[in-house]
Structure 1
Amino acid sequence: MDQNTPASTKKVFKENETAVPIWILAPHEEKALRDELQENTNRICADKFIKMGECTQKHQVLFSFYCSDLKKELLECVGYNGSRQKYDELRQQYLVRKKELLEKEGKL
């Protein structure tokens, strides 16, 4: 183990050399978290999606000029709520739930 390895990881590896640290997620867990982040972003920004859609229907040819403010708001909302920081927050919440579940089952 090197100096950068978290202490909790060292504990897991010392007790059982084949154990995977809790903070490593399986691909299906990563995908589920990304899907959840996408759903959250869509839900939070739904009003901006609707306003942008209405504006583009109203100004079909020149929507890029008439709807630029709405587009900027939409991109800011999606950019903020779909950011890596929001993903990391969601991932951290998931890891807490996962740890509690494993402790409850006696696997940790």
Structure 2
Amino acid sequence: MADSPNTHTGTRLPIWVLGPQEEKEARVNLKSFAYQKCDEFVKAMADCAKTNGIRVFPTCEKQREKMGECLLFYQVDTRYLDEQRDKIVERKINRLEEKIRKREQEK
């Protein structure tokens, strides 16, 4: 975990460093974000697939291309992944601030 002590040096990693699990979370969040932004293209592809069954690949090529282009736009541009990472860092900062507030109230 990113905010646990480093066993080699006895120091903590900076709060803005994401651990492997948090990095995975950011990528999962990015995928969800991309699907939300491309909802109209995803629905068009799904509708075409439902209508055409086994002939989905030759028949729905245009819908698949548009859906793929849209999804790739959000998943390739690093600023969208950075936004998801920033949200996780903000959450970590908020948790830390809340812990500090609780400690101060206990004094």
Query: What is the TM-score with the length of structure 2 in the denominator?
Result: 0.63
Residue 18 (str. 1) matches residue 31 (str. 2): no
Structure 2 gap ranges (5+) = 1-9, 101-107
Q: Which moved further from structure 2: 54-63 or 83-92?
A: 54-63
Q: Name 1:93's counterpart in structure 2.
A: 87
Cα drift, residue 70 of structure 1: 1.7
Residue 54 (str. 1) matches residue 47 (str. 2): yes
Cα drift, residue 43 of structure 1: 2.7
CA deviations 1:53-95 (Å, max 9, x no partner) are 2223444566545433322210121112223521111111221
Residue 75 (str. 1) matches residue 75 (str. 2): no
d(CA) in 2 for partners of 1:20, 1:84: 27
- Give the helix-richer structure, 1 or 2: 2
**Fraction of identical pairs, as percent:** 27
Aligned length: 91
Query: What is the TM-score with the length of structure 1 in the denominator?
Result: 0.63
d(CA) in 1 for partners of 2:77, 2:11: 30
Cα drift, residue 20 of structure 1: 0.7
Residue 105 (str. 1) matches residue 99 (str. 2): yes
d(CA) in 1 for partners of 2:96, 2:54: 56
